[in-house]
């Protein structure tokens, strides 16, 4: 899919590479783990009701914390929060891969969902602001298509990875996270955090001055 209005410059292509990779991971991990549930259940001796929380913990964190991402970005800066959420997602993926028990796997999946809840909306806003208003629709379509593709292809890709063990479903995230972080650090420009609200004076509006001479 080519960008409208001509090709993108190097910085914009770098930002797109980072946000597309990060967004794809969030969608991939929504469906890929479903294929691994039988293998996880055999290793931990878990019943289907317990295994269901492997999916629910991730989706619950996504639903609960996605609204928090914009507020964090307003206060701390979009670049910092996006890269921080990506780092959280990567660390949680490593913890999922190393989990020795099902409860620890569920806890790591919840944290992974928190990282995903931060990454997904900020990947969109970062992309849109980078490519500009003229390419807004194109950028939204690109992220949406990429995310949906990995949502659909997640089980098929997971089936290939399962030949090496279910833990590889989480380990495969790590090189993609490192790539997105390195490229993001290089090309995503810092955004200004929102300034603190001006204190209201007791005599009326914020910052008003009632001094007069003579």
**Distance separating the N- and C-terminal Cα atoms of the chain:** 69
Looking at residue 8, its pLDDT comes to: 78
Q: What letter would DSSP give residue 87?
A: H
Full domain range(s) for residue 14 = 10-187
Is 198 domain-assigned?
no
**Alpha-carbon distance 5 to 136, whole Å?**
12
- Looking at the predicted structure, is the pLDDT value of residue 176 above 90? yes
Is 206 domain-assigned?
no
- Looking at the predicted structure, is the pLDDT value of residue 203 above 90? no
Looking at residue 104, its pLDDT comes to: 98
Helices (H), 99-205: 102-131, 136-161, 168-171, 173-187
Is 197 domain-assigned?
no
SS3 86: helix
Is 162 domain-assigned?
yes
Mean pLDDT of 167-176: 96
CATH number for 110: 1.20.1250.20
Is 5 domain-assigned?
no
Number of independent structural domains in the chain: 1
With a threshold of 0.95, does the pTM exceed it?
no
Task: Please give the mean pLDDT across all residues of the chain.
Answer: 87
């Amino acid at each position: 899919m080519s960008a409208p209005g001509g090709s993108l410059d190097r910085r914009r292509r770098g930002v797109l590479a980072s946000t597309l990779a990060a967004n794809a991971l969030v969608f991939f991990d929504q469906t890929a783990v479903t294929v691994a549930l039988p293998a996880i259940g055999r290793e931990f001796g878990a019943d289907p009701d317990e295994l269901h929380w492997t999916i629910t913990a991730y989706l619950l964190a996504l639903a609960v914390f996605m609204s928090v991402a914009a507020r964090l970005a307003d206060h701390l800066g979009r670049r910092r929060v996006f890269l921080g959420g990506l780092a959280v997602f990567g660390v949680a993926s490593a913890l999922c891969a190393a989990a020795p028990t099902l409860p620890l796997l569920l806890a790591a999946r919840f944290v992974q969902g928190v990282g995903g809840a931060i990454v997904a909306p900020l990947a969109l806003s970062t992309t849109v602001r980078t490519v500009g208003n003229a390419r807004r629709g194109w950028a939204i379509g690109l992220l949406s298509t990429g995310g949906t593709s990995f949502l659909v292809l997640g089980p098929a890709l997971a089936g290939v990875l399962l030949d090496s063990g279910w833990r590889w479903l989480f380990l495969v995230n790590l090189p993609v996270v490192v790539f997105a972080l390195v490229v993001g650090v290089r090309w995503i420009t810092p955004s200004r955090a929102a300034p603190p609200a001006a204190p209201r004076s007791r005599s009326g509006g914020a910052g008003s001055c009632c001094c007069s001479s003579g």
